[in-house]
C-alpha cells in the first residue's frame, strides 16, 4: 500500500531523472478528486500540488503512471488539457525511458 511519503519521494526521483529538477517542488498526495478541479478521475495538477485518487494506493505502478501524467502537465504549465504541447512532452518522457522505468524498473 502506497502512502503520501512514497508519492513525494517518487515525485522527487522522477523530477531529477526526467525533468532535470526543473519542476517546482509541489506537494503530492492522495486525496479525493473533486470533478471541478481536474480533467481526470485519477488525478489532477494545480500550480502548487498534485492529487491522486486514493484507489491508486493499491498499485504503485498505476500511481506512478498517473503521477508522471500530472508531472507532464506541470512541465507544460499552460496545458490543462491534452493538447499538442502536452503530447509532445509525453513523447519526450517516453523517449527518455520514463515509462519503461516505471513498468520494468529500468
**Chain residues in the site for Zn ion (CB under 5 A):** 39
Q: Which residue is nearest to Zn ion (CB)?
A: 39
Closer CB to Zn ion, residue 32 or residue 104? 32
Q: Hunting for cell 500550480 — which residue is that?
A: 47
Output the smallest distance, CB 104 to Zn ion, in A. 23
Output the smallest distance, CB 86 to Zn ion, in A. 7
Closer CB to Zn ion, residue 4 or residue 39? 39
Q: Say if residues 93 and 69 touch (Cβ distance below 8 Å).
A: no
Output the smallest distance, CB 69 to Zn ion, in A. 5
DSSP character at residue 26: -
Closer CB to Zn ion, residue 5 or residue 55? 55
DSSP character at residue 53: -
3-state class percentages of the chain: helix first, strand second, coil last, to nearest 5: 55, 10, 35
Closer CB to Zn ion, residue 15 or residue 45? 45
Output the smallest distance, CB 5 to Zn ion, in A. 24
- Written as one string, the DSSP assignment of 54-73 is GGGGG-HHHHHHHHHHHHHH
Amino acid at each position: 500500500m502506497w502512502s503520501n511519503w512514497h508519492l513525494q519521494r517518487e515525485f522527487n526521483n522522477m523530477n531529477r531523472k526526467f525533468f532535470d529538477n526543473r519542476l517546482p517542488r509541489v506537494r503530492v498526495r492522495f486525496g479525493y478528486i473533486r470533478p471541478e478541479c481536474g480533467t481526470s478521475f485519477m488525478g489532477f495538477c494545480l500550480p502548487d500540488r498534485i492529487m491522486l485518487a486514493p484507489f491508486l494506493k493499491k498499485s504503485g505502478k498505476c500511481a506512478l503512471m498517473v503521477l508522471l501524467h500530472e508531472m507532464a502537465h506541470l512541465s507544460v504549465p499552460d496545458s490543462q488539457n491534452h493538447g499538442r504541447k502536452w503530447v509532445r512532452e509525453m513523447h519526450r518522457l517516453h523517449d527518455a525511458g520514463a515509462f519503461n522505468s516505471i513498468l520494468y524498473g529500468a
